[in-house]
Amino acid sequence: MGNRVSAAAARKKRLSEKNNEKINEKNSDIQTSSTSNLDRRSSEVSTVTYWLPNHNDELDRLSSQHFALKILYDGNISNQIASKLNMDNAVVLDVGCGPGTWLMDVATEFPGGDFHGIDVYDIFPRNIRPANVHFQSCDALEGLPFPDNTFDLVNMRMLYVALKKDEWSLMFKEIYRVLKPGGFLQSCECTTIETGNEFVQQTANACDILRKLNYKILDYEPKIISFAQTDVLTKEFLWNMVQICRNAQPMLEEQFGYTGDQYAHFLTTFEAELQKKPEAAWSFHRHSAQK
């Protein structure tokens, strides 16, 4: 446990030092609490698409991913939403919140708000979390367990490995229901390396889905991470990409035909090839919309 938390803290420290202390001490407390108080609680839900494990290594990856995305987008909430919404008394929902790192980070910044996180897996921190944060285990695709017009802001991020192609519209429609009139949706997803397949393109082109559901699109923020770059933030995303493949080994080794030492060699080669010309890229897409 100690080595795992230390490794996560070291990655966070490197990001902080190279990005003008954009990740402050408050975030450090959140990152530690979101991992060190989580044991290997696993919920076997056969209907869930999400194929990454919910063990400690994956929780560390999710925490690292949060802070990297926070730097990439210069904050947790888009400027379009932040300029219109008073977060000090907002009611906020994070769909597919995982260990709750984003939620607790924002809740600590805005102690007057009311923050709710849901995930199909109960991997929420037990002991250390802000008093204004509440977690609930449920399958969002079976309906969000909240009344109509409840939330000022709904956040949904990095669910590309959790939702099937035909489930995105269903999810956005359900979020529309629980948003207050004039409430906001923030959605951030990514493509696979290079152009991606039809499913990945569906997640990146969320604007079309949102417009059909009567959302008003406020902003679209594409970001591209080129793995040929050598800055610390790029290295963090590179680590995250390789870690996805490492954590998904039980599923991918059968698909790739690698086992044991062969899979370890594949990971080493994969990391090296990502950084060679022609450079590979990882694209992120954040949408801000209003009901």
> How confident is the model over 94-124, as pLDDT tens digits?
999 999 999 999 999 999 999 999 999 888 9
Quote the pLDDT of residue 201: 45
Quote the pLDDT of residue 33: 42
220 compared with 277, residue with greater pLDDT: 220
Name the residue ranges covered by the structural domains of the chain.
56-290
Q: Kind of pairing, strands 151-157 and 91-95?
A: parallel
Let me know: does 126 contact 41? Beta carbons within 8 Å. no
Question: What's the topology of domain 56-290?
Answer: Rossmann fold (3.40.50)
CA distance 291 to 280: 36
> How confident is the model over 40-61, as pLDDT tens digits?
333 344 444 444 555 677 888 8
Q: Strand (E) positions, the chain?
A: 91-95, 114-119, 133-137, 151-157, 179-190, 216-226, 281-290
Of the listed ranges 64-73, 117-126, 138-147, 269-278, the least confidently predicted one is: 269-278
Quote the pLDDT of residue 162: 77
Quote the pLDDT of residue 129: 87
Q: How confident is the model at residue 152 (pLDDT cuts 50, 70, 90)?
A: very high
